[in-house]
Structures are given as C-alpha cells and as structure tokens.
Structure 1
Amino acid sequence: MTTIVTVYVDDIIITCSDEAEISALKAHLHHTFSIKDLGLLNYFLGMEVSHTSDGYVLTQRKYTKEMLSGCELDISKPALTPFPLNLKLSPKGQIYPNVDLYKRYVGKLNFLTHTRRDLAFAVQSLSQFMHSPKLAHIAAVTHTIRYVNHTSGKGILLIDTDQLTLHAFSDSDWASCSSTRRSITCYILLLGNSPINRKSKKKSTVSKSSYEEEYRVMSQDASEVSWIVRLLEELGIQGLKLVQLNCDNQFSLHIARNPIFHE
C-alpha cells in the first residue's frame, strides 16, 4: 500500500487505496499542525477537479470566467481555432503602445495552458514578443482569447484504466520562424489515454534539415520519458518499460535504429 502526499506551500492533496490510512494521516497532521479538512478534492491551485464515471476532469472554469469578465479586448466574435490559420508572426510592424496589457493577457493565457493543452502553440508563439509587441501580435492575442471565450468549458480528461502504459509523441515544424529560421518543436506524454506532460517551444539553435530537427526532438522526448518513468516508479507504478516513442519522420527513425555514429 502506498500513500501519496502532494504539498504546495500550505495546500495538501492526500491519496491512498485505503480510506482508513488517509483518515489516520489527516488526524496526525491535524494534531501536529491544526489543518482544515476540505473533503473530497474539487479545487487545487486554481484548477477544478470534477469526478465522472470515466475518471477525472481538470478545468479552470473559474479562472477563465474571471479573465473573460474583465477583458479589455473585443472578444464578442467567436473564434474556432486557438490561432489564426497560416499566421506567421514577425517582429516587424507598427508597435502596440500598451505593452503591459499585452504582457498581462499572454501571462493569463500561459497559466491557462495547465488544463488547456490546445493553447500551447499559440501561447509559445505570443510569448516571443513580450518585449516589443506589434499590432499584429495583439490581434493574435485577441483571436486566442475569443477562442477561449468560445470554448470556456474545455479541460483535461484523466481516464480511469487498468492498462497503465506510457506513450510519447513528438513533432517539429522545421524552420517555421520566418525571421530566425528556427524550428517549433513539441511533444506530449500519455499515461494510458491521459495526457500528463507536454511542451511546445521554439528551438534555440538552427537545424540544417527537417530530419535533424525531428531527431533532436526525439532525443529530448526520450530524456523526458526517462524522468517520468523514474518518477512513476517511485509512486509505485511498475512495468512501464518499454515505452513507445512515436515520430512520423522516416529519416529520423532510420538514424535512431542505426547504431553507427552520425554527426
């Protein structure tokens, strides 16, 4: 039997397969520190937890409602995508005068990505222009917030399953940044059918080919998988190896299978 305690400053989550063990631990903590028992988990660090027949749903409805209620941008029109289709943001253009407003809303959107993985690409794109936003950038922020307003109930479904297998997916948009020719890379990890980790980022280096960049992303994804496996094993989840790493670039797969040194 394993008891897991998650602590963030003065907020605590306790989980265990034995209710009596949870009650005993709560009694001990209350005797030592005088804690307040809030019962079944439903809210933690700005995230709402809903219990369904399929598992748990993580959302940020309250935070989203507060962000939209006082929004200073025109979000009356709905948007169907997190980012305008085929849009390539550039550092050139007419400067947007209200830099603080731009930073504030990009920061709010960044916090929202904890439960809105569909916003990851848009937020990483908008975050690159915090120092000097242009009119095109604030227009893109407005589009993203319109999408959030149109899909405010979305979140993450953590599905209950007996088959706890780990899967990783990686991809790269080679040289997608028109000004620096750097690639946008991303990966996501699934435990069973539930997303537990993801990242979308513009690379700090320039790759000479698409398969070179895809291979770099696979390497980064493999490192992340190794860390996640060790963490889950400490939590008592065994038998995760071998982990399937998915990539759609055939040249990268050939390099990964070939043990000969490649520059």
Structure 2
Amino acid sequence: MEQPPGFISHQFPNHVCKLNKALYGLKQAPRAWFHRLSTFLIGEGFSCSRADPSLFILKRDSCIMYLLVYVDDSILTGNNELMVKSFIARLNKEFVIKDLGKLNYFLGLDVTYTNGGLFLNQSKYAREILDRAHMIDAKPAPTPLSTNVSFSTTGEPYSDPTHYRSIVGALQYLTITRPDISYAVNQVSQFLHKPTVHHFQEVKRILRYIKGTLTFGLTFSKPSMPSLLGYSDADWARCLETRRSTYGYSIFFGGNLVSWSAKKQPTVSRSSCESEYRAMANTTAEIIWITHLLCELHALPPTRPTILCDNRSALFLTQNPISHKRVKHIELDYHFIRKLVASGKLHTHFIPTKLQVADIFTKSLPKPQFEFFLEATKAPTCIKKPTCIKRLIL
C-alpha cells in the first residue's frame, strides 16, 4: 500500500507499506475476508458448495445447516434449533456479529412467512424505481408489453441515455422475484448503448405494469412430491435487426418456480427446430446445475428431471442419435442432451403451445394468455410451517 498522506517517511519517501492484515476497500480485501470466514466455517465442519461458492453446508447425522454468505451479510437456517443457536454462539466468539433474528428483509427482498411456506417480493424496491422515474402516480398497464410491439435501432435518440440505463438496470434486479417482466426487461436491455424515445416509452409501459402489480412475487412451499420439471421454448428469428431467436425456460422444483430465463441466442438459427433444440440444450444445462446443488443440499428428488417442449422436431433430435444434413452445422456441445436422454438421466415430453409456460419468456402475449401463464407459475399451498431462517451481520 502507498504511504498515506501525512504519514510519508522523509527517509524513505518512495517505500510502500507492507500490511499485516487486509484493509477494507483494497482490491484483495474481499478475497482475504472470504478466506478468513471460510477457514473458520470449514473448521466447524461446514463444506463449501461446488455449485455455489457462497453456500456452506453442514450435515451431522440427521441435522443439517445451510449458511449463505453475501460479503458480511449472511442467512443461516437448519432443521435443529439447538444446533443453530450453538453455532451462532461459536460464531459470535470468533467474529463480532449482530443477530437480526427471523429473516424479513435481505438485499432488497421482502420475506413473508405464510402457513404454506415463504413469499418473496420486492415491493419496496419497486416503489423506489417508480419514484426515481417519477411514475409513482402512473396509470397501471395490464401487461409489460403490447402484443404488436417491435424493437429496432432506428428512431429519435432519447435525450438522457444515463437515465434510461439507470432505470433498466434497476429493473434487471427486480426480475429476481418478478419473472413476469423478464422478457420485457430483456428486450429494452438490448438498447442500452443508444436508446431511442420509443425504447423509453416501452420502459414506461413496464413501469406502469409494475405500478399495478406491486404485490406480486414468488411463493415457495414444501412439495408433497419433489421433482424437477422444466419448460423450454423459443421463437424463431423474431429480432428484426439480427434475425436471432429469443429462448426462455422455467424450471420448477416440486411446483415451485426456482429458475427462469429470457435471453437472445448468440447465433442465427436456420429453422424453428434448431432454435427450439438450442433452447432445450440451455435448459438442460441449467437443470444439471440445479441437480448438483440439490445433491449437495441433500434434497435431490428420486425421479429423473423432465423437459417439456412444444416442438416435435426438436424432441425428435433429442431422442434420435442419427444426425442428418439439416443439423450437421449445430455445434457438438448442444448434442450432450442426447446422451442424457439415452442414459435415462433426462426425460423429454411434448406439450401443447397453449400450455407452454415458458412462452411468457419468448414473446409479448395478449392479456388473457399472459395472465394464464402467470397463474401457472404460482406454487401450491402446504399446511406445514417453514423452518426458522435467521439473518446475521458479521
């Protein structure tokens, strides 16, 4: 570290300081802090998750504890209350911590306990976005985007691109608990470099939709039959500028929506079959990661995961090991889905388009269809009470 102003040595003005401990704010401070904390946790019997480095897991006989770390803010939960209290006491001896009790608010997420489990939403954060955009009194909209909307780079440039980027960036964080706006936010995020007035009008449409759905969020309940079910969908060449396709997926664990995505594909697909097949491959990769995480959490379901797709040609490609000339150009890494299907580790099924939940992540839909898919993402209720979750500040 450079010598601080007012403490420069007259004898050695060009020397630097050698630190015995990391200082907050320096580049190596986060790594040093994580090493210090992880060393203590591993000494206590925790193991660091390979699927998520910020997750630590402790399992002793029938007792399980999970510790999720974000810098100096962490969440601790377990199925044995005495074991959790004992660990908090040992943690308090090693670090100066503040026990905030039952988890109610974490990184902008509001946590509400229900008879069926947990409800997560970001209503407070959403109000802050509306206030920043001066739309707190705006008239609500029924859907995030109109059905006939189209995006292009042509048009009158927006006068304040920084303001546009600020609002869209805030909306991206809001999608953590709002999968219903994922596709709309993905579309407006593609023009951050040079937004137009039309693009900002679509952002205001999203904000008006949020104004009428401030209480929306995600519900998590204990599943009666835990299983992994994924919905995979893609459009074909919808982008007018690049002719690339947009794919989306939604993955449910025991009826609870745990992962979703709306993203433009990196290459141009020559057919709808190809775009759907690439979407299924990306969905499969996400399901594999989730299975690894569930295995470490000791919650892996006994049944094999299933992917539902509304394109029969893409389903045929996943089940047929013979490649013909129409798919020779598809990269080899996308064909790993075939091996999983052939080995019995993955199951693929056809589903009608009208029941394809992932359709909400690939295009703007009419209000009745949008509300139907939105209702399908809600988890079933459960009568058992959730395990207590504590929030700790180190």
TM-score, reference length from structure 1: 0.97
1:140 to 195, 202, 227: 202
C-alpha separation in 1, matches of 2:165 and 2:64 = 43
Q: Is the 8 A contact 1:55 1:157 kept in 2?
A: yes
State the structure with more CA Rg: 2
Q: SS of the counterpart of 2:124?
A: helix
Alignment of 1:40 onto 2:109: no
Q: What is the SS of the residue equivalent to 1:206? A: coil
Tell me the equivalent position of 1:160. Answer: 222
Residue equivalent to 2:14: none
Runs of 4+ in 1 over 6 A off after TM superposition: none
1:238 maps to amino acid = L
Query: Which whole-Å CA distance do the structure 2 matches of 1:217 and 1:76 have between them?
Result: 36
Correspondence for 2:234: 172
- Counterpart of 1:22, as a letter, is V
Q: Shift of the alpha carbon at 1:258?
A: 0.7
What SS is found at the alignment partner of 1:39? strand
Does residue 150 in structure 1 map to residue 226 in structure 2?
no
Contact 1:94 1:134 in 2 (8 A): yes
Query: Which sits farther off after the overlay, 218-227 or 138-147?
Result: 218-227
Q: Per the alignment, in what secondary structure is the counterpart of residue 57 of structure 1?
A: strand
Correspondence for 1:235: 297
Please give the TM-score of this superposition, normalised by the length of structure 2: 0.65
1:102 maps to 2:171: no
Deviation larger for 157-166 or 200-209: 157-166
**Partner deviation per Cα, 1:173-230 (whole Å, 9 max, x = no partner):** 1101011110010011111111111111011100000011101111111111111101
The equivalent position to 1:111 in structure 2, one of 164, 169, 173, is: 173
Q: Paired residue for 1:53?
A: 115
Question: Could you tell me how far apart the structure 2 residues matched to 1:235 and 1:70 are?
Answer: 39
Q: CA deviation at 1:32?
A: 0.8
Aligned to 2:315: 253
Counterpart amino acid of residue 35 in structure 1: I
After TM superposition, the structure 1 stretch with the greater mean CA deviation from structure 2, 25-34 or 71-80, is 71-80
Question: What is the CA–CA distance in structure 2 between the aligned matches of 1:28 and 1:162, rounded to whole Å?
Answer: 35
Cα distance in structure 1, aligned partners of 2:94 and 2:127: 38
Residue 138 of structure 1 aligns to which amino acid in structure 2?
F
**In the aligned structure 2, how far is the partner of 1:225 from the partner of 1:126?**
27
1:186 aligns with 2:248: yes
In structure 2, do the counterparts of structure 1 residues 204 and 237 end up closer, same or farther at CA, with 3 Å as the change threshold? same
The alignment covers a number of residue pairs equal to 263
* 1:224 aligned partner: 286
Following superposition, the deviation at residue 162 of structure 1 comes to 3.0
Deviation, structure 1 residue 239: 3.2
> Which of 68, 91, 109 is residue 6 of structure 1 equivalent to?
68
1:208 aligns with 2:270: yes
Counterpart AA for 1:33: F
Corresponding residue to 2:145 among 61, 76, 83: 83
Distance in 2 separating the partners of 1:60 and 1:242? 33
What is the one-letter code of the residue matched to 1:60? Q
Structure with more contact order per residue of length (Cα contacts < 8 Å, sep ≥ 6): 2
Task: Tell me how far apart the structure 2 counterparts of residues 232 and 14 of structure 1 sit (CA, whole Å).
Answer: 17
Deviations along 1:38-86, one digit per CA (max 9) or x if unpaired, are 1111111110110001111000111112222232358622100011222
d(CA) in 1 for partners of 2:321, 2:238:
30
SS of match in other structure, 1:153: coil
1:241 Cα deviation from its structure 2 partner: 4.0
| Percentage of matched positions with identical amino acids | 39
State the distance in 1 between where 2:183 and 2:133 align: 22
Give me the CA root mean square deviation.
1.3
> Could you tell me whether the CA contact under 8 Å between 1:164 and 1:191 is conserved in 2?
yes
* Secondary structure of 1:38's aligned partner: strand
Q: Is the 8 A contact 1:75 1:142 kept in 2?
A: no
Q: Distance in 2 between matches of 1:207 and 1:232?
A: 33
| Distance in 2 separating the partners of 1:85 and 1:68 | 23
Instruction: Say which is worse superposed, 66-75 or 216-225, in terms of deviation.
Output: 66-75
Work out which of the residue numbers 188, 193, 198 in structure 2 matches 1:126. 188
SS at match of 2:279: helix
Stretches of structure 1 lacking an aligned partner (at least 5 in a row): none
**Separation (CA, whole Å) in 1 of partners of 2:200 and 2:279:** 30
Letter in 2 for 1:70: R
